[in-house]
Structure 1
Amino acid sequence: MRELIILGTASQVPTRTRNHNGYFLRWDETGFLFDPGEGTQRQMTFAGVAAGDIHRVCVTHFHGDHCFGLPGAFSRLANDRVEHPVHCHFPMSGQPLFDRLCWTWPEYRRRVLREEPAWGERTVLAHESTSDFGRLEAVRLSHGIESYGYRLTEPDGRRMLPDKLAALGVTGPHISELQREGRIELDGETVTLEDVSAPRPGQAFAFVMDTRLCDGVYALADHADMLVIESTFLTEDAPLGAEHGHLTARQAAQVATDCGVRTLVLTHFSQRYSDPAAFEREAREVFDGELYVAEDLMRFPVPKRAH
């Protein structure tokens, strides 16, 4: 199963209907918790996300609405006796604040948490050759403090073609052997994987929060199957967004169009706006793909692979 669960969609100030940030991505057997703001533990309960579902925590930056839920999340992990490794990614410059946010559980931190901060312009945090889910990268963004976006990329693979398998008599355990070895000998003939399969592009998921337009935004969004991106402001307040390091809905949608994004999820809305439909109207001026204006506790499937 691959799906995105929205735990919170507010920006600096939560509202009656929007909790502070929080996003949980189920990616097969791996669970990613992004930017857990205040109240994330409670939102996880509402959404049916268990502490044991979390395998990686990704923090874009250390403004409170993106990280003040860490103590609650770590407390839940400890209280629920989660013992599998939980990898924690965050800007290296934020290490002192990260230390303060998890100081209550020093023994649990040593035993379970794996701190792997991002640094430089681009950091590979997990490589497809050594992980079950693919490549995880952090890319620097442009905000008031050091901030990173995250990109998850599945390696390209092959899609088996049943009609070609049947035509060549490849059945049962021979299929697994062919996938593993790349070729087999069958009745004196060599059958290669390319003979009975077609390329299957890997999926890509991108997460972009608090930033002005910059090269990093486009690098993260490039041909993403799903892009989760902040749209704090509407165009009428674009100068305010640029000043404080935020995007408008139109800017976010234009990035999606320019980068060939398939599914666009807008989130992180300023409390100054009362009409969520305004964000959709503005985004639709430049983006005609699948579009969601996120609300708390919504769930979105990652789109099926493009063939």
Structure 2
Amino acid sequence: MLMRYLKGYSLLLIASLVACSKSSTTTTYVGNWVKRSEFEGVARSGAASFVIDNKAYVGTGYDGENRLQDFWAYDVDLNQWTQKAPFIGSARNGAVGMTIGSKGYVGTGYDGRDKLKDFYEYDATTNSWAQKADFAGTARYGAVGFGLKNNLGYISTGYDGNWLKDNWEYNPATNSWQQAQSLTSGKRTDASVFVIGNRAYVCMGTANSTFVNDFYVFDGDSKNWTQLNYIDNVSDSSFDDSYNFKGSGAASFAMNGKGYIVSGTKGSLSTAVWEYDPNTDRWTQKTDFEGAARTGACGFSIKERGFVVLGVSNNMPLDDMREFHPFEEYNKND
């Protein structure tokens, strides 16, 4: 696992791009991807992101040669990127990013030599970073981070030399960490997470060199995990999940009360897009991502609009961004 991060999501074991594009299937799915302003910094994968006041902040990551510290803000109304104060921690990839209240947070990751546990807060009002109490779990990369409505943040799963399922709660009011309930099972690294209401949904990832298919939700009120249906449980009962669902390094976001998983590596790279409905606990396949198949991309939502940016494809870092319209029909000309 360490060699993967030494190359920064370079995917040494992947020899070809996949399949699962609109040209390779006769099935028609609903949804349309629209190109938006390219990320203005250098192309990269394994970046961290968070959203504050309807702007997305994206930074750190790996460009194929160097780990990075620069940070950029995306204004959805202007469709423009603006450079912000650089991250003050060491350059890294595989870190978590999350929003708690009105502040953004970045921590953990890999700097090219060591797994990390330092943790930082970003204030968009002053455009400044401040170091906070170190993450109380083991130093790691490939974890998931999420903030919930109770103004608490969490870092869970990842890889510290072993696959992990522990979960840690951060309270910005006291600048302190405490251990929360771990996943019932489901150790993993490079998982995906999205938040709907006051619940965080964690799926995908790898453990013991195998893609995992169990799926959990963490309730911010009860502070308990509940296991949901395996991600094999999709709307189309004839679907072969081994082809384009189970995997790792997928981008994720939530909008309009539903969660989305985009692209990632699934034995080889995929462009598949899946929508989760928490009311039915089922997944539905949507129109494939229209950019190159990739892993290590960032997903975020602003004003109930979902975006995917960056990533790496066949060792080539990417800087393109697309917005997903889940109810529109596919239009190849946008």
Q: TM-score, normalised by structure 2?
A: 0.33
Higher helix share: 1
Larger Rg: 1
More strand per residue: 2
